[in-house]
Amino acid sequence: MATGADEDINTIMASRLQKCIFTTIHVKDVPFGEIDPVFAHKYFDELGRVWKVYAGNDLHLLTWNQSLQQPLITDGWTKLREHFNFQFQYHEINFVYYGDSMFYMLLPSTESCPPDEFPSFHSLSTKVPEPLRFEIVLKDNSNGFREELIFDKWLGDYITSFHHYLVLEGPVEESPLAEIIQTPGRNGVRKLEYQAWSKFCIDNYFSAGDLLKFTFFNIAKSNRVDVDVDRIVI
């Protein structure tokens, strides 16, 4: 349901920094909207069940199902189509996320969006999946050994929703199957098995200070990770 915002939208958002933008598709006669799983994993700990979505001078309350396997916007989704009088089968919608379950919805295009322009995570998309990329700066610990490869919490959870073993493809050598291990405790983080990680770094002549760039080209179908390096200049 849309209601008038109690405060001016510029006042509400003035003290907040934009965290990201995610895109989804409003499909006619489908009572839910699909959410980018990467977005859901990354911000899960701060996303409440109900989202405040500002659009123009109106506030829309949308509910999501809090699922990481199939994240969906549910309550309020059909009302969004009615409010904006969407006429086409497919409409692209862009949400700007400001944290604390607060969004600004960019006013939707009046044109239909074809499936080959849908975001690749969407079940109706005909796009090639978007690569998943992340970077780390390689460091040594106080004993002069390579630090462990510890994933950010959301990233480790997302990767292991597909794979628990990875093959790292370096510029010189690739690793054998390397297990992702979860540290003890309810909120334990995930890290790569150390012996495999250490050997991979040695085999590819990585040095402390190198920027390592990781790419899953299709994480849903392959556990192979391309690892490129920007080497430090001494």
The pLDDT of residue 146: 81
pLDDT single digits (tens) 118-144: 999 999 999 888 999 999 999 887 666
Compute the C-alpha angle 61/46/81, nearest 5°: 25
Return the pLDDT at 188: 77
- The mean per-residue pLDDT over the stretch 78-87 comes to 89
Best CA proximity match to 211, nearest among 230, 226, 228? 230
Answer positive or negative: Cα dihedral of 57, 47, 132, 77.
negative
Res. 155: pLDDT tops 90: yes
Q: Is the pLDDT of residue 107 over 70?
A: yes
* Domains of the chain, earliest start first: 2-117 (2.40.330.10), 132-230 (2.40.330.10)
Inform me whether the pLDDT recorded for 45 exceeds 60. Answer: yes
For residue 27, what are the CA distances in angstroms to 61, 113, 114, 120? Answer: 19, 10, 11, 15
Q: How confident is the model at residue 171 (pLDDT cuts 50, 70, 90)?
A: very high
- pTM value surpassing 0.75: yes
> What is Dmax (Cα atoms) for the chain?
64
Between the alpha carbon of residue 34 and those of residues 10, 25, 31, 186, the distances in Å are: 28, 7, 10, 28
Average pLDDT score over residue span 14-29: 90
| Number of other CB atoms surrounding residue 190 within 10 Å | 20
For the segment 72-81, the average pLDDT, to the nearest whole number, is 94
